Structure 1
């Protein structure tokens, strides 16, 4: 799987002991995910200590909106990554570059469009969320600046997913470290003001995020070309940045349902936030901090799922089906151990963790502790679902996971909370384990009995497109 002359060698995930390879590939991804969440947590600490509960509620509401925007980007990025992984498994480096080029082209256009629309519609979005009146002006100032940071966020997301698709999990980790250092370091300067920097309040936290993401995007692109990493585009390959209709169709057809999966989870969260916001600022702040801690609970499952997806994609591309089930079993075992361990730690040390964000005397702390004890363990079940879906989507099966998530996370969870809320606030928190139990049961049934093994992406798309266009790029990358 050689790239250009002097290129950094991609990692071949079709060889070697499965569990060891899975860990070596997933641990840097886990580190990057933890750093990403740590960055958000540090920002919330600054906001909470300097600006109070209303500002925390404001940033929490705005961040949910941003996750909604990222959902579509994740779907397209995941489809691109699967194409890259399957191409690498088939020893087709030009096909991998072609997939990434099309992904970058469409990501750039979509991110700029969303940034423009988001700037002008931020107020209407926050009103639709029933953002508490005390938090609304702060949330609006924060959200508008964050929308401007979307283009570098989207493009960096795609490039890092592309790097993982060729088996490189170290480079994304390095640049996530840079992102955290910049974002966390700039936050107090822009929140409080320093020297020529004006005091910007909660909008300063968003400004720090904006600057950090532009620096990281420029840096990672420069690094890829300086090190001649396999997915770089040069010469005739630069035309791959113009979205290819055939590949774009595949990315859209496969990526849109994966993006909708994220939208389903986000929509479920938005409806719950609307219910939670009506319980008052303290409950909204408590739930916002609980969500931040849950990002750490989900980190192992997300990292293992990403590793399983890329490993499965490369092995499917190589025709090594005997390893795919073994990869899934290994992923489930490692995920249960890691996610279960993080849940246990969170429940044991929840009070000091919550005090970091809210201050030791905050009235939101007992509310947040109660939420944690009811809902945190449900993420063990959801982690199983993530690993199973990571395998099936590696072969292009995206509709059944979407239907399962829609039923379990949106219909069951939201209906449970909405219908039973009159019986007590706890019904909001119990909706998490109920929805996750339904989802994991259906995911196990689909993995065992579904037709996902008969799906396929690479045989029908990448190889056919490469064969049709081979004369024009046969010398590319030499």
Structure 2
């Protein structure tokens, strides 16, 4: 297993704070990169193809977010499983996870791609896509579904490497994908020479090509470098639907995916409430959410990093390092998120002017930021604590905590405050909801039985690849 650790970081030994920071930074830069890529692509479509095309891609992207929410959970389960096996110095177990997970991802992606291609029109009708956007949306969605296998497997390979302690290599190939996507978008949207004008279909095809090329380059790189977790001919017996691993991926992954769905549906409910206060309020809230999306990135990167770090230490049985990971992650979140919040408070209205021109909307947006931004520090601490808890495979209580904080506290409170006291009061539901989530998460961390949860494989570390 020493060879494996040379390709990544041994997160079970050495200075924990330094290793956690070095591990989190590529994840953070990758998150920023993906957001900027999406923003640039949206600018091409929105500014040059019109509102109908922009609405079409927005509808299609909502479907992709739903699918990626479910895959997020399965990928997190894979990260934890690989991390635990690495921490236990169980190379056979790690390869067993890689083989079963790879086959699972391939089959899942092919089923979803086929179903999506067959049902694209019906899905868009269910979403009540406007007639003037239907053509754009259908072309965009069909090509996006064709690219699902590339998207899912690219995500899987990144997951395996992060579980093995390597966050830098996935970032390099994520950078390759983003650069290709940005370069191909205008070329395929508008056409050039023999390349026809494809409009929204061109934007979708740019993403598919970028991810496909980057995935192939990624895999070739891993085999050229002889990464210890690559599957060779001798390991082909691991490529099977291992019942125990598939059960763990589904049983642990679905609740983590549902957490993302709870978050996204709560955002939709809040948008529906704000829409009732007029277009200025809707525009202001949209701009504030764009800003808060960047504020949340450090917490999400640190949360993902602590899950991988803690998983390796759970596998190694080093619980003292698991708990130190929690506190160091919380301190990093306080510093990084706190700095971003302070900067935005200092330049609140100038930043809002990037998104808004209407002075009434800017005033509303400034008020939203004043009331809510500091509370994202609480969100970050919750995300870190939940990330450590998930590293053992304890997923049901974090799911319940998210549901309670959002759908039993924040959303009902937002509707009550908006009805009783007006628009300005709605924003107080954010810090109150974040505080509820933090209290519930910390209580479970301190007094819950998450340490007894298990994703340990039954087979011994000495297990060889089964005969194919």
Does residue 388 (structure 1) correspond to residue 369 (structure 2)? The answer is no
| SS of corresponding position for 1:78 | helix
Alignment of 1:3-14 (within 5 A): 3=3, 9-14=7-12
Separation in structure 1 between the aligned mates of residue 183 and residue 350 of structure 2, nearest angstrom: 23
Residue matched to 1:318: 316
1:465 partner SS: coil
The 3 A distance-change label for structure 1 pair 376 and 99 is same
* Distance change >3 Å, CA 365–CA 62, structure 1 → 2: farther
1:2 aligns with 2:2: yes
Alpha-carbon contact 1:374-1:430 (below 8 Å) kept: yes
CA distance 1:134–1:268, change in 2 (3 Å)? farther
Pick aligned residue for 1:207 from 205, 208, 224: 205
Deviation at 1:432, TM superposition (A): 3.2
- Can you list the C-alpha shifts for 1:292-344, whole angstroms capped at 9, x where unaligned? 43332121111111111111111111111111111110000001111122223
Counterpart in 2 of 1:73? 71
Partner of residue 251 from structure 1, selected from 246, 249, 252 = 249
Equivalent residue for 2:459?
A: 465
Q: Distance in 2 between matches of 1:10 and 1:232?
A: 14
Distance change (3 Å), C-alpha of 1:182 and 1:390 = same
Counterparts in 2 of 1:91 and 1:46: CA distance versus 1, 3 Å: same
Residue number among 313, 326, 329 corresponding to 2:327 in the alignment: 329
Alpha-carbon shift at residue 366 of structure 1 (Å):
6.1
Counterpart of 1:43 in structure 2 is: 41
Residue in 2 that maps onto 1:87 = 85
Q: What is the rounded CA distance, in whole Å, between the counterparts of 2:126 and 2:279 in structure 1?
A: 17
Q: Using the TM superposition, give the Cα deviation of residue 136 of structure 1 relative to its aligned residue in structure 2, in angstroms.
A: 6.0
Question: CA, structure 1 residues 53+333, in 2 after alignment: closer, same or farther (shift >3 Å)?
Answer: farther
Q: Is the 8 A contact 1:58 1:131 kept in 2?
A: yes
The residue number in structure 1 matching 2:398 is 401
Give the alignment partner of residue 410 of structure 2, picking from 409, 413, 423. 413
User: Shift of residue 39 of structure 1?
Assistant: 1.1
For each residue in 1:145-183, what CA deviation from the matched residue of structure 2 results, as whole angstroms up to 9, or x when unmatched? 333332211111111011011111110110111011011
Please give the per-residue CA displacement for 1:273-309, whole angstroms capped at 9, x wherever unaligned: 4555677777666655544433321211111111111
Residue 343 of structure 1 corresponds to 341
Distance 1:42 1:191, change over 3 A: same
Structure 1 residues 192 and 390: alpha-carbon distance in aligned structure 2, compared to 1, 3 A threshold:
same
Which residue number in structure 1 is paired with residue 450 of structure 2?
452
Q: In 2, distance between residues paired with 1:427 and 1:205?
A: 40
In structure 1, what is the Cα distance between the partners aligned to 2:258 and 2:106? 20
Secondary structure at 1:442 match in 2: helix
Distance 2:32 2:270 in 1: 25
- Residue deviations 1:158-213, cap 9 Å, x none? 11011011111110110111011011111222233322333333343222212211
Tell whether the 8 Å contact from 1:306 to 1:390 is kept in structure 2 after alignment. Answer: yes
Deviation string 1:214-260 (CA, Å, 9 cap, x unpaired) is: 11111111111111112210013123232211111122221121122
Give the structure 2 partner of residue 184 of structure 1.
182
TM-score (norm 2): 0.89
- For the 8 Å contact 2:234–2:465, the answer to whether it is kept is no
**Partner residue of 1:159?**
157
Contact 1:97/1:240 (8 A) holds in 2: yes
Deviation at 1:390, TM superposition (A): 0.8
- CA shift for structure 1 position 63: 2.7
- 1:377 matched residue in structure 2: 374
Match of 2:103 in 1: 105
Secondary structure at 1:470 match in 2? coil
Give the conservation status (yes or no) of the 8 Å contact 2:287–2:356.
Answer: no
Contact map agreement 2:117 2:146 (CA 8 A) in 1: yes
Pair 1:471–1:208, CA change in 2 (3 A):
closer
Say if 1:157 and 1:347 are closer, same or farther in 2 by CA, change over 3 A. farther
Q: Which runs of 5+ in 2 are unaligned?
A: none
Q: Tell me the equivalent position of 2:22.
A: 24
Q: Once structures 1 and 2 are overlaid, which stretch shifts more, 93-102 or 137-146?
A: 137-146
Paired residue total: 467
C-alpha change, 1:108 and 1:282, in structure 2 (3 Å) is farther
Q: Deviations 1:94-149 (Å, cap 9, x if unpaired)?
A: 21111122112111222222233334444555555566777666555444433333
Matched residues in 2 for 1:142 and 1:413: separation?
A: 35
